[in-house]
Amino acid sequence: MLAKSGESFYDTPSKRQFTGKEMLYKRSEKINKKYDVIVIGSGLGGLTAANKLAKSGHSVLILEAHNKLGGFATWFFRKNKKHIFDVSLHGFPIGMKKTCRKYWNKEIADSIIQVKDVRFINPQYNLQTDFTKEDFSKKLVEDFKISKDKVDEFFNYLAQMNFYDDQSMTNRELFEKFFPGRNDVTRFLMEPICYANGSTLDDPAITYGIVFSNFMSKGVYTFEGGTDRLIKMMRDELLKNNVDIKMNSKVEKILIEDKKITGIITNGEPVYSDTVLTNANIQTSVLKLCDQEHFNSEFLEKTKNIRLNTSSCQVYIALKEDQSIPHIGELVFTSTKEKFDTESLLDLDITSRTYSIYYPEIRPQDEFPKTAIVSSTNARFEDWEKMSDEDYKLEKKKMIDETIDHLETLLPNIREKIDFIDAATPLTVKKYTHHPKGTSFGTKFEGLEVSMNLHKQVEGLFHAGSVGIIMSGWLGAANYGVIQANEIDSYLYNKNELGVTHARF
């Protein structure tokens, strides 16, 4: 799996995968010339928006550059489909259940199950939790010896934070305010969120407050059957709702005339629409897919100044068929670093690894369910990009070797049980998702304002994708898809009132 030498990361099916009457197209097949809405990209934001818009009666086309739906919500096979790995199915908040029930279907919502055993292992503490507010409060009082009043005050403060008023305080200031000098408490409260969305101590505390409160409402959840099962169920629902989907179709250009959307160009051909929702990165959408003359200079400046979030490295480990491991938790946050600081989470010299352990029960549908382990670490794109091909290979090998060494401390003799191991770096992420600098979690806070105001610059142009930390992750992306679908729905409704839309029903 070498992004530098062009090896494949995801599974590449060579044939059309689906048959029947569904409107799923490969490169050679035809799509309509005009749609009510064109969605660029099939991440969870794009898919959820497309489904909602189709259910509201609009004709919708999804164009996806890759040969798979899902964006980061993805998986890949190795060893002739003997092993399957989930890339971003580690944990999301309970809210995903409600979002899926409301905007997808009951079957999808019912497959969302709790990750009950979350562990933290680092020089400051070794704890097991179900990641609920009740258990975190208990641990803060009993293990970290914080007074109950202070813990309650902290949680109440987070619950009352207001998105529009509370943008100046940083995470660092938040933790210093409530737990001065307590690096261990900061680590306990912050490390999982850093891992979940790339936050740092210098990001606005409001982004932490929202994401942490989401997780804390009822713990961490996962999808039974794996990402492949979820995306297949979503695909079936989209097809049922008459969404047209075209894979292998990178959008090269968004067409704009007189500050209004007219369509897009994909594979050299135009497809027309008055409304485009882009699920690509916000900077790519504005600065690469559109001609700049359609935006005012202040907006362009803001777009250029958006900071990207960091990227990720992962090590994928599959056990031999006849091998198993003892239960050591489903999500295991580990660090060998004495003290917590968000910068060292990104270092090439890796000290922090979060293991997602996929015990056989998570894929009950598999004929021969096996154990897989994915070790994830946040990383800087720049560190990996500047390496020569030779150094890149060596650094990957080092990452793999050191991960096994570390895993041996949790699971003695794991080395002998491994059937397959490989790794992905920020370059792999960039190569397969088209995200600049392989950003795993979209943009920093300022990306949200640009994303939400896009349609004010160009009529009919909307964005739903990971921005502002809050609108990222499985739940954030899906919910942002819903928010933007509502915007588009009312936009189309108003146009319809004037008699210019071409909705199907």
Binding site for ligand FAD (CB under 6 A): 40-46, 63-66, 71-73, 87-88, 90-92, 196, 250-251, 279-280, 312, 314, 376, 429, 433-434, 440-442, 465-466, 472-475, 477
Q: Least Å distance between CB 154 and ligand FAD? A: 23
Q: Least Å distance between CB 230 and ligand FAD? A: 11
Judged by beta carbon, residue 188 or residue 480, the one nearer ligand FAD is: 480
Judged by beta carbon, residue 246 or residue 495, the one nearer ligand FAD is: 246
Is residue 359 classed exposed, middle or buried when 0-12, 13-18 and 19+ CB atoms within 10 A define those classes?
middle
Judged by beta carbon, residue 87 or residue 185, the one nearer ligand FAD is: 87
Token pair in block for residue 217: 């409402």
Q: Least Å distance between CB 115 and ligand FAD? A: 10
Q: Least Å distance between CB 79 and ligand FAD? A: 21
Q: Least Å distance between CB 283 and ligand FAD? A: 11
Q: Where are the alpha helices (DSSP H) in 56-147?
A: 95-103, 106-110, 133-142
Judged by beta carbon, residue 179 or residue 333, the one nearer ligand FAD is: 333
Q: Where are the alpha helices (DSSP H) in 4-115?
A: 44-55, 95-103, 106-110
Q: Least Å distance between CB 213 and ligand FAD? A: 15
CB-based contact 266:273 (threshold 8 Å): no
Q: Which of 285, 477, 470, 307 is nearest to 381 (CA)?
A: 307
CB-based contact 441:198 (threshold 8 Å): yes
Q: Least Å distance between CB 465 and ligand FAD? A: 4
Q: How far apart are CA 490 and CA 487, in angstroms?
A: 5
Judged by beta carbon, residue 363 or residue 495, the one nearer ligand FAD is: 363
Judged by beta carbon, residue 90 or residue 437, the one nearer ligand FAD is: 90
Distances (CA, A) of 104 to 86, 109, 369, 420: 21, 8, 27, 35
Give buried/exposed letters for 287-304 (b at 16+ CB in 10 A, else e). bebbeeebbeeebbebbe
Judged by beta carbon, residue 72 or residue 208, the one nearer ligand FAD is: 72
Token pair in block for residue 1: 């799996």
